[in-house]
Structure 1
């Protein structure tokens, strides 16, 4: 009888152990859960190579205005900074990243436009930038009013800046589209391209980097209005509403002003904080 008793106890113990494993597995899910903290993770898409906007530092930390905005918003949704996972989302992959569910939302110099709104929903805007040109400091051939057709320009694949050049600004320009703005900066420094074109906020961040101080200058154009929004999976109106409330609070408690000053400094003449839903055409 003893062996039988041992068998029964062992079987019962195995059942309890299996149930414990199941409960542990269910409780260890660290995937994002919209607006629900509780120690769970939230994944936010940002840029890794835009100084002042979204930059992955050599020590693995992240800095930039978008990073500060994302961190503030995530906190309002119930997530501590330690529970935020930042994921690199290049311009050309932002819509797909949301569709695949790779990220919960995207804060990555993501300009709101009608074409993108067909694929994703946007909260915001939270910053109004303008497309401009970054040129070498000794450049004299490009200034306000210069015809850019025939010039060697560089921008990022999938960016609104690249689309603006091809459709409106200079359809006959020699436009080089690359994966990151860092590649454009390298091309500008080497003389391979005449100008880097994108949002003035991004250009200001690059020109302010220690290794580039005095080497580049912004032309000072306002070639377009870029309303930065926070991208959310299409149809997730609840998330959009929560993020909009967080952004409104960020402006009202002056955290927005602090983030602008800390990331852009006095050299960037930013526009006032936009009102939620106020898209400047």
Structure 2
């Protein structure tokens, strides 16, 4: 009998302990809050130099990281309060809808299909599909020059299909698992060009080990308006993020972040786009 009572008491204590832990988790990881205090969880890419990159020392760098950090500060969170969560392209809507992140800043192009599932703030950046070629290549100056050339992109890339189907049907499309493989192929002359958003290409070309080796062709094959993804219907947060983005542009922080992250590639960025979401 005494053993039974002791077990019951222990069980009750465990339940109380777990309840307290859960309550404590709500206050310390404030993924659902937007007014400071505790933590805020933000989704970014971990593998895109210049945009969102987790470095070997465990820190994070890139334009999207700078934008997210600025927005978080305007919402009342210091940089140390941010919990970064990796947000691969295929998982962005799920992470937002499930409440795993407060918002996502991850080269996230605004389009009607995505707006069925999430809302956006912004846009905060206008990118274009472009080509990256070797710095000494003068033969590729327009998309049509890729006919009979080897074009590289990642498996399943809509950018590569766009070029092959619409612009250079005779291009020899080479698809690899990641952009780093395309860059190696481009450097070794196994491929002639790499295609995706110019911001992503500029990020890779700006890496110290790549500086001077590659150049952007400067083509504008599509318009990609990057927005900050958030839970559908959260108009209060959308309004606050939009206000933060406007302030970032007006006080010079936006251009400073662009120059710091893309400047070494010689990338000629578009001006900060007008805020259209939620207006």
- Superposition RMSD on alpha carbons, in Å? 3.0
Q: 2:119 corresponds to which residue?
A: 121
Partner of 2:251: 253
Tell me the TM-score normalised to structure 1 length.
Answer: 0.82
Q: Distance in 1 between matches of 2:98 and 2:169?
A: 33
TM-aligned CA distance change 1:196 to 1:166, over 3 Å? same
What residue number does 1:67 align with? 65
User: Structure 1 residues 85, 228: CA separation in 2 closer, same or farther (over 3 Å shift)?
Assistant: same
1:34 is aligned to 33
Give the paired residue count.
Answer: 269
Distance 1:92 1:187 in 2: 26
**Offset at residue 20 of structure 1 (A):** 7.1
Aligned residue in 2 for 1:8:
none
Paired with 1:149 and 1:118, the residues of 2 have a C-alpha distance of 37
Whole-Å separation in 2 of the counterparts to 1:49 and 1:113:
23
Unpaired stretches in structure 1, ≥5 consecutive residues: 1-10
Distance 1:229 1:164, change over 3 A: farther
Unaligned runs of 5+ in 2: 1-7
Q: Which of these two proteins has the greater Rg computed from alpha carbons?
A: 1
Assess if the C-alpha contact under 8 Å between 1:91 and 1:158 holds in 2: no
- C-alpha separation in 2, matches of 1:147 and 1:99: 42
Of 45, 51, 54, which residue of structure 2 is paired with 1:56?
A: 54
Any idea what the Cα deviations from partners look like across 1:109-144, whole Å, max 9, x if unmatched?
111122222232211011112211001223343222
Deviation digits for residues 134-162 of structure 1 (CA, Å, limit 9, x no counterpart) = 01223343222534345432334566534
Secondary structure, counterpart of 1:276 in structure 2: coil
Counterpart in the other structure of 2:136: 138
More displaced, 188-197 or 209-218?
A: 188-197
Identify which of 71, 96, 99 aligns with 1:98.
Answer: 96
